[in-house]
A = this chain, B = another copy of it.
Amino acid sequence: MLRHVPPLLTPDALHALASMGHGDELAIVDAFFPAARLAREGGARLVHLPGADMPGVLQAVLALLPLDDFGPEAAWTMAVVGDASAVPPAVVEAQAALRHAGQAPAAALERFAFYDRTRQAFAIFVSGEARTYGNVLLRKGVLRAAGAASLSGTS
């Protein structure tokens, strides 16, 4: 337990978030996702956070992680197979968490495109999410002047 750090972020989760540079991506996935295989194939760090659903892990991550602001979005969910306009409940909650954090909405990626991006991610956080399509990809950004911190101070 540390000040300012959401308690569900374990030491390994914190280490991964702090190790990421801008443009590096993090996947937060549901408990059904082939996370271990994609991490093995692509070399992503695999961190298990079974104590929360995907929107809960997303909210915790957004408390610390600045998102990329070079593109129109910095977050992606997985499109429902065969119904690209569907918005599953976990995705509704993820969009709310992004909105609450002042971020642009997540865009939808086709299923296999989502797998490819996850394979190339820096880290995969496996949540305890038991709802299907409970996955989100985030691209890390920088802390702009207003959020920049002195060397030993906080933002």
- Interface residues of A, Cβ cutoff 8 Å to B: 1-12, 14-19, 51-52, 56-57, 59-60, 63-66, 142-143, 147, 149-155
Contact = CB atoms under 8 A, between A and B. Distances in A.
Nearest to A56: B152
Counted per complex, copies of this chain come to 2
B1 A152 contact: no
B4 A151 contact: no
Contacts of A11: 14-16, 18-19
A63 B143 contact: no
Given A19-B11, A149-B6, A1 B66 contact: yes
12 contacts: A3-B66, A4-B5, A4-B63, A6-B150, A6-B154, A8-B151, A11-B15, A14-B14, A60-B152, A60-B153, A63-B152, A63-B154
